[in-house]
A = this chain, B = another copy of it.
């Protein structure tokens, strides 16, 4: 990956602090041993009128996918351990408002390979729960409780 220029890093960090999202969520993976997976991602939203801007951002970041939603918005999402890790490490010194989310995602990425057994995985899922408050997202379907009760059965 080509590194972002200093100018791009500052601009993108400012944009991410203003209108982006650094997040983690628990998703169902019935085919996985622990039946759930932790998904980390960085996302940006813009009116589809500004789709060109997300294309520019994607070209800079060199990761992720853009989709046009059917509500007039476009969404650019970078997901996957390595892409999210690499982008966040580059933006880390510049991010101001979303520093807590950034550090928490980096910690989750670091801990993920160690979660071989249900208990350590559930503990990490509890960290993921924190994003509900950090990002004011109230639509979480799966919390660590769900994972705990599923894995206990």
Contact = CB atoms under 8 A, between A and B. Distances in A.
Contacts of A56: 96
Contacts of A103: none
Interface residues of A, number: 22
Contacts of A10: 6-11, 14
A71 to B, nearest CB: 14
A88 interface: no
Residue of A9, A15, A16 contacting most chain B CB atoms (<10 Å): A15
A29 interface: no
A97 B53 contact: yes
Nearest to A93: B7
A118 interface: no
A46 interface: yes
A6 B6 CA distance: 10
Contacts of A13: 11, 14
A8 B12 CA distance: 12
Contacts of A8: 10
Q: Which 8 A-B pairs have the closest CB atoms?
A: A14-B14, A18-B18, A18-B19, A10-B10, A14-B15, A11-B14, A15-B18, A10-B11
